[in-house]
Amino acid sequence: MEEKQTRKPFPTHILVFLAPAAIIYTLFMVYPLLDSLRLSFFTIGEQNQEIFVGIQNYITLFTDTNYAPRFLGALKNNLAFFAIHMVVQNSIALLLAALLASGIRGSSIYRSVLFLPTVLSVVIIGFIWQLILNPLWGVSESILEAVSLGHLFQPWLGLPETALITVSLISVWQFVGIPMILFFAALIGIPEELLEAARVDGASGWQTFWRIKFPLILPAVGIVAILTFVGNFNAFDLIYTMKGANAGPDFATDIMGTLFYRTFFGQQLQLGNPTMGATVAAMMFLIILTGVLLYIFLWQRRIQEIEM
């Protein structure tokens, strides 16, 4: 049996417990991330050596005619992608959660069904919707015709004006279950006395929800917002599956994740460029970090002040 160490600061057993996690995490997560950030200040020379170029890669990304339009396009699309999730996904999630938390019969069955798409792979979801929306199969068109809206049908995924909205809504369809459960958990956590008091005062269901319940679940709203933000600015799989690395038509569905992939690995006419890829990743890192810091220092602090 192991003998107890007498030297205080760092006994072996603590080291044994912590070392595997610290090593794997540092080696495969922290180090590569820092290394990527470092590489964004370098370029690869002809002898495969790294040459320090300062912020040249960033200047290229923002001004070069090959990079700037793609980068700004991807950024704009990604913001739209995020906005659609915030508005559509999180509103539907709030509505569903409010209904589920109202003590409705069969609540747990509904929850299981509505959560289901989140456990399926994005690749499967992407292909399923590609088939459902495919004009060749005509399933969506038949459904629209059944409610006499057949004339509205268009190959939404293929048109530059509608492709981004369509893939965003498919992503919403898949992930609405996550904010739904988070809102639901927050709603059922509200103490009954508060709601009882509101009823005694004659508040309507609508008033009770917006004046009492909603302010009380603001912490969950913040968590949902930041999870949506991080998830959206890190998204890739759905667009890659449905529209390929070129995020067509004409880059209409290009977001930061697909831009990163193309820049790093190259595409038909352009060779892959690890240092420019690292630069795109560094921009994604900056965007996500800004969101997370805003959340922690502005949102959470305000919430804590309110709660106190």
Partner 1 sequence: MTTLTKDHTNPSTSFGYRARRALGGIAPHLVLLLYAVIVLFPIFMIIINSFKDRKAIFGMPFQFPNAETFSLIGYETVFERATFQIYFTNSIIVTVVALVLTLLIGAMAAFALAEYPFTGNTLLGLYLAIGIMIPIRLGTVGILELMVNFKLVNTLTGLILIYIAQALPLTIFILSQFFRQVPRDLKDAARIDGASEYRIFTLVVPLVRPALGAIGIFTMIPIWNDLWFPLVVAPGAETATVTLGVQQFLGQFVSDWNAVLSSLTLAMVPILIIYLIFSRQLIRSITQGSIK
Rule CB under 8 A: which of 188-217 touch partner 1? 188-189, 199-200, 202, 204-205
Q: Least separation, in Å, of the C-beta of 40 and partner 1?
A: 9
Give yes or no for residue 157 binding partner 1 (CB under 8 A).
no
Q: Distance between CA atoms of 307 and 266, rounded to whole angstroms?
A: 50
Q: Least separation, in Å, of the C-beta of 277 and partner 1?
A: 5
Residue with tokens 């009492």: 212
Interface pick for partner 1 out of 51, 72, 83, 131 (rule CB under 8 A): 131
> Considering beta carbons, is residue 252 or 291 the nearer one to partner 1?
291
Q: Binders of partner 1 among 62-121, rule CB under 8 A?
A: 92, 95-96, 99-100, 102, 104, 106, 108, 110-121
Q: Binders of partner 1 among 239-268, rule CB under 8 A?
A: 240-241, 257, 260, 264-265
**Residue type for position 231:** G
> Considering beta carbons, is residue 9 or 65 the nearer one to partner 1?
9
Give yes or no for residue 128 binding partner 1 (CB under 8 A).
yes
153 neighbors 141 (Cβ within 8 angstroms)? yes
Q: Distance between CA atoms of 6 and 54, rounded to whole angstroms?
A: 50
DSSP-assigned states of every residue in 142-196: HHHHHTT-GGG---GGGSTTTHHHHHHHHHHHHHTHHHHHHHHHHHHTS-HHHHH
Q: How many CB atoms lie within 10 A of CB 69?
A: 11
Give yes or no for residue 150 binding partner 1 (CB under 8 A).
no
> Considering beta carbons, is residue 24 or 55 the nearer one to partner 1?
24
Q: Least separation, in Å, of the C-beta of 90 and partner 1?
A: 15
Give yes or no for residue 1 binding partner 1 (CB under 8 A).
yes
Find the helix or strand (DSSP H, E) in which 103 lies. Answer: none
Q: Distance between CA atoms of 117 and 29, rounded to whole angstroms?
A: 28
Beta bridge partners of residue 52, listed in sequence order: 42
Q: Binders of partner 1 among 24-63, rule CB under 8 A?
A: 24-25, 27-36, 39
56 neighbors 43 (Cβ within 8 angstroms)? yes
Number of residues forming the site for partner 1 (CB under 8 A):
97
Give yes or no for residue 182 binding partner 1 (CB under 8 A).
yes
Q: Distance between CA atoms of 208 and 211, rounded to whole angstroms?
A: 5
Interface pick for partner 1 out of 56, 154, 162, 234 (rule CB under 8 A): 234
Q: Distance between CA atoms of 168 and 261, rounded to whole angstroms?
A: 19
> Considering beta carbons, is residue 251 or 261 the nearer one to partner 1?
261
Q: Least separation, in Å, of the C-beta of 297 and partner 1?
A: 13
Interface pick for partner 1 out of 67, 129, 175, 251 (rule CB under 8 A): 129
Q: Least separation, in Å, of the C-beta of 159 and partner 1?
A: 20
Mark the segment that binds partner 1 (CB under 8 A) among 77-85, 148-156, 218-226, 300-308: 218-226
Give yes or no for residue 290 binding partner 1 (CB under 8 A).
no
Give yes or no for residue 220 binding partner 1 (CB under 8 A).
yes
DSSP-assigned states of every residue in 185-250: HHHHTS-HHHHHHHHHTT--HHHIIIIIIHHHTHHHHHHHHHHHHHHHHT--HHHHHHHTTTTSST
